[in-house]
Structure 1
């Protein structure tokens, strides 16, 4: 009986509806996409340092910079024809301090990669790829982008799992947020109690590391979706530009009516190369896409890289393979220099560098590496937490039955005593 004038005991406070919805989403969305997140994040850890690892594994392809011009596209074609006359040059990548990478043939049906000294033309290394075969880092990238499934199946799975992962991160911060910012709550929220039980350490690894990696993982996820979800990509550009529509990429096309009237295929390739190289002596790298003379509408495409290891300030050029005339308007986001691009275009061009952390140089890549590594661990620690709670729920049922069995004998032994007293 409750006396008048006294308040009834308060029931234990229940979490808000918003918290409970967040907890439900965090659990089930995490269980659904957990394995995908683990694969995507682990592949990201490896891919972040693909250039550095390749350089270490192939020291013979590292060529010191010299104060002399590099070999021209015509020389590359001559080298390719002397070794593989039946394979057409596809593209060449010049990087300051390393060998020229020349790709021959088509990747999907088998191609050959030549690594050539940019000053002497010596072939340093030859790599043959059979149809469907990829090198190690291409294999890692395929796992990151579409889980080694056919692209039309794997891409949507990865892209929308990434979108779900963003929701998981948002719900995670709701669950992490302490009810009261007491000294004990702060310590639990920001530190890992290493000298504790496995269950507690696992909880801290999920809760605390998840908080510290939250911003990095969110940035990586939001920038990654730009490459896979069209409506998100266009919507992001629309928001950042103040309502402008993202211009579509248009493939450059040469004027096929001008075939043979001005330059030979080899001469026009060198002419375009020299024009771009002379205008951009600061460039530390070039990507050169050869025109196919058997396709009259095929164009010559070049991209310059002013800063080694970064891609945001690249600039693209396209040329008519017959006249050498520059073709403009094909890629409005990249046609202009970075300095003259709009704010939205600058952000779009920085997207890849932000995604892999290279926007901050080596420290940024290290940050991306550990962020992705923690991202791969979160589904694992989260699953162990869920599994532990399921086992804990089953234990009270068993212990209750044991208690009932223990109580019954006590009643039987007490009953005769009471009867004797009567």
Structure 2
């Protein structure tokens, strides 16, 4: 039996994560140089965008790990049976698979789980590098306040702890749900920093931003984002409890508009996977209550997205933002229905998770104002630099 926490390979894991992080960093740096990116603020934005992209990949791959039942493919943390990769643990994996051929530990599940951990470690390495660089370049014109990359670093450490708890708690639904919510919080946090690093732009863009800052539509968007967060939490609770197939028909559930439900058991938060919190197995009415709560909240969120997206679409300035919101809402509706009527296919489930992450990204991108997280001194220096550049461009 493997120890739940085995720190023997932790140094190798950190080195591997740092090495993996160098690959996207080098690619992004090469492309940015070809595009003529200059100044630390511009480089900070480019590298934060790359980190955000990998974090979105991590969210989807985390869903893939969960949906393929690979979350316990390596029953210890951070390595696999005390090794850096399943190659080194192949004897232990083969022994466990011989005892339980259909159990959680197999060679391919171990690889899926470890690839997820490698990607998570690479994201952590990128975030650590961004934090260190932000403090070293904190006085650069237009740079982001270093406290925001530091907050992101704290976030990724907490996410790592929840990753360990996911394994040691044997996929307890509450831990898995919080882990997914934390991942999407990271998407929002990185998106906000990318938006804060958005260049000043034209005078028209600055005036538009000023109008948007006090617009009632922006305040309404915050409400939509809050509703979406509740819906994502309910969706994560459905997924972590494997309650998707509690209702295999639509719009009814089990052939009825209001089937038998046990919300008290279904929303007992602290309990092992598959149990009811009282020593027995969780029954269908409890799973039905979980599923129906997510389905009913989906109606509220879809209506909110429809009204908000259509309202933005009526304004010329925000027409694209409204269209994207309407498109993402339709994407979530179609993939959610596909999960039910097509018996939870893997592609539809992954697409549904990706849609949730993209909704968080787009709403945060829409609601956060450019420059909001830059220090006042850096903003003044950036403004002076911009004015100096404009004077040079106007000079004969």
Interval containing the TM-score (normalised by the shorter chain): under 0.3
- The structure with the largest strand share of the pair is 1
Larger radius of gyration: 1
- The structure with the largest helix share of the pair is 2
Instruction: Provide TM-score, normalisation by structure 2.
Output: 0.26
